[in-house]
Structure 1
Amino acid sequence: MSEARALLLSLVSCLFLWENGITAPTCVKDNDDDTALYLEKLYSLTSFMTDVLATQVQNLHAEFPEELLKLVYSLLGSNNNTLHHLVNEMSLLQGNTSALLFKARQIKAKIEDLMEGVKIILTLVEEKENIIYVPSSGLASLQSNSEDVHYFAFYNLIRCLLRDAQKITIFLEVINHKMAARNTC
């Protein structure tokens, strides 16, 4: 909070100077002591504001991968829940669904492994908040008596799983890139 107050005070000071119409050339003559003093203060103020800005951007940058990690964990949890329901409902479908069930179970196991890894990372970055999983909106359709609605629900849920998997991949690549950049700077 003190950084925000310091920045606000600096901005108000700068606006006050700006509103009074004080303008100064970048090249100051030796005999104009008031202008030289003003320029010195203005440069000092802008230097301070730049330092505050850099610190705030650095903090934002550090917090953003933590938020991405929480989002990844939430998406994984939601997908794990969705896959649990898909596996249960697929087993009730008529016909030979063993290949689909096998693939769905493999994906579910990989999601659980990935969730465990992300949970460890969150613990290491001292993120202790509880993360809420958003349930899939298509789960109710799996309970439909209509075979067409049932298959359409499977299709939609699997499509959502694909979209979420792509998001998770991108988010983890961003986090990985940030961590790699941190180690090279």
Structure 2
Amino acid sequence: MKFGRRQNLMLSTCHTASIFTPENNEQVHQTKSEDLLKMTISVLQAWEVPPKHMVAAVAVLPDASDVIQSRTKELEERVLGLLEGLKTILNRVHPGAVENDYTFWSGWSDLQSSDGATRYFALSNLYHCFHKDSHKVDNYLKHLATICKFYIAYCSNFYIAYCFGNAWMLQLLLVSNLLLWEYVVSLPLCLEIEGSNELTIEELFDDAIGMAQYTSNLTTQISEEFDENFAKSLGYKARNSSTCHTASLLTPENNEQIQQTQLDDLLKGMISISRAWYHPLEKLVHEVAALNGASETMLLKVKEVEEKNQELLKKIKEILVRVHPGAEENVYPAWMGLAEVRSANEDTRHFALSNIFRCLHSDTDKVATYLEIVKCRVIHNNNC
């Protein structure tokens, strides 16, 4: 008996769901720094207890690897360290501030259930929720770091803060949570009752390629539908649109350049592209939902592309870890086009959205192409 992908996505509500927290960048920016700090602390306090039980549950799994056990243990330690540091910052920046309430986890009985499926499902759900909440905390810390008005330099795997006062501690916590977030992403979110669920490298490639091609096809449909219904009046202007926000990424543009590019650079390029679309896709879902005349089908397709991009990012990261363990990921460009998408001028909005969908299709098609070539190199020794 196995937990398939569809069942895994229908997990229980997270125990932190009752904690009021901003759910998108706009809400984050509208939240006072003190409140955001206290919300972050509440989320982490709700995770003080579960990790120690996750460690115990993983330890008795018949097929759990040493890596999963050690990483789960490290998650427990990082949560406690991150929580302690944030409390110190709150006390320094807002002396006397009262912390918010937090929810208690009550799922220990499921982890101890005599039914194997119940135990595995409960553990899978915890990893899913941990993944979601650590990503949320990561976003909050990045915003708080921006408020502190300092910048970071990246050098030899370490972030070096050039700032004074409390900002240095916040920066260290940001890096700490980034590591926590990366660990959670790498842990298995889909468990099975019998045997190991780890895919072979070829299966992982096939899964990623299928998902990338499907996503690319969706973006083609979205772009064509949008231009047909909203950009016709713009004529050729939309087709000769502005540069994509991912244009600064140094990625090969033709087969000759691709063949001359190192394997790890191709994989890291794909990761940078997928990451660069993380926040724009989040915004696109909201903008299409508010777009007068947009079909429900288009909205569902945009939502699905957002979800597939996140799933594909995880798969490509896993491929990079398998093919080049310890490889460092590249930086990725920020998207600065929200103002145009929300312009009071309708033509400006439609032009911006048309351009975004064009860029999205171009980048998803690029990722699908790169994946096929990388698979050919790794699996078939470039004999395809």
The TM-score bracket by the shorter chain reads 0.5 to 0.7
Contact 2:266 2:370 in 1 (8 A): yes
Deviations 1:15-63 (A, max 9, x none): xxxxxxxxxxxxxxxxxxxxxxxxxxxxxxxxxxxxxxxxxxxxxx898
Question: Equivalent residue for 1:82?
Answer: 280
TM-score when normalising by structure 2 = 0.30
Secondary structure of the structure 1 residue equivalent to 2:361 = helix
- Choose from 166, 177, 181 the match for 2:376: 177
2: distance between equivalents of 1:183 and 1:158?
32
2: distance between equivalents of 1:92 and 1:147?
13
What is the CA distance between 1:118 and its match in structure 2?
0.7
Question: Equivalent residue for 1:120?
Answer: 318
Map 1:28-67 onto structure 2 (within 5 A). Answer: 64-67=262-265
The one-letter amino acid paired with 1:68 is L
What is the CA distance between 1:96 and its match in structure 2?
4.4
Give the CA RMSD over aligned residues.
2.3
Contact 2:264 2:327 in 1 (8 A): no
Question: Equivalent residue for 1:18?
Answer: none
Question: Equivalent residue for 2:289?
Answer: 91
2: distance between equivalents of 1:155 and 1:174?
29
Closer/same/farther in 2, CA of residues 167 and 96 from structure 1, 3 Å limit: closer
Q: Percent same amino acid among aligned pairs?
A: 29
The one-letter amino acid paired with 1:133 is Y
Greater Cα offset, 80-89 or 69-78: 80-89
2: distance between equivalents of 1:140 and 1:127?
38
Q: What stretches of structure 1 of length at least 5 have no aligned partner?
A: 1-60
- Choose from 315, 322, 338 the match for 1:139: 338
1:100 matched to 2:298: yes
> In proportion to residue count, which structure has more helix?
1
1: distance between equivalents of 2:342 and 2:311?
28
When the two structures are aligned, how many residues end up with a matched partner?
Answer: 124
- Higher Cα radius of gyration: 1
2: distance between equivalents of 1:156 and 1:170?
21
Greater Cα offset, 131-140 or 120-129: 131-140
1: distance between equivalents of 2:294 and 2:340?
21
User: Which structure ranks higher in relative contact order (CA pairs < 8 Å, sequence separation ≥ 6)?
Assistant: 1
TM-score when normalising by structure 1 = 0.60
2: distance between equivalents of 1:93 and 1:63?
41
The one-letter amino acid paired with 2:284 is L
Map 1:14-25 onto structure 2 (within 5 A). Answer: none
